[in-house]
Amino acid sequence: MRPFIATSLIPLGLIAAFLAGCASGPPSGSWIIEPEGQALFESGTVLPDHTYYYLGSFTAPDSIIAIDHRFTLRTRVWAQVDMTASRLNGWLQWYRTDQHPPGCAYRGGVILTPDGQRAGFWYSPNPINIVYLPEPGVIEVYQPQTASGRVCGQDGYDSMFPGGK
């Protein structure tokens, strides 16, 4: 009888371990498209109460975020930048003159906390993202992607489209 109990408990233990791995993580925020966020970046407005970060090349970043000073960004992918109106307008000039593959037009929006507070703004050709608040006042913003799970601007993606970067 004991071998039966032992062999029965092993699968139950594996199922329990699997379900524990699926337990909820930190509270999730949102990265949503919103015309106000896009207009904010495209007007060249630099918010004094926000810290700016970018992904990609410093001369022509793939994505930009502005995080409200009420939050600290915990990141391994975003680089902080001392944003000026001149720098932002230079990046915008590049975005306006560069040819983008289909589906890679720049959009903007807001970054929201799980309770709906505005934590910042974003500007990117990649409209899908994951946002977490692992602890009060700390926000994690992952690298944005397209709906297909790819990242506009990365090697291989642009080459699929004639006339791309």
* pLDDT on residue 152: 79
* pLDDT on residue 89: 94
> Hey, what amino acid is at 154?
Q
Q: 110 has which bridge partners? A: 32, 121
* pLDDT on residue 95: 83
Q: Tens digit of pLDDT per residue, the chain (165 long)?
A: 555 544 444 444 444 444 444 456 678 999 999 999 999 999 999 999 999 999 999 988 999 999 999 999 999 999 999 999 999 999 998 888 766 666 678 899 999 999 999 999 999 999 999 999 999 999 999 999 987 777 776 644 443 333 333
Residues ≥6 apart with Cβ < 8 Å to 103: 125, 146, 152
The answer to whether the beta carbons of residues 61 and 54 sit under 8 Å apart is: yes
* Alpha helix segments (H runs only) across the chain: 2-21, 35-42, 85-97
Residues ≥6 apart with Cβ < 8 Å to 30: 110, 111, 112, 131
Q: Indicate the pTM of the whole model.
A: 0.76
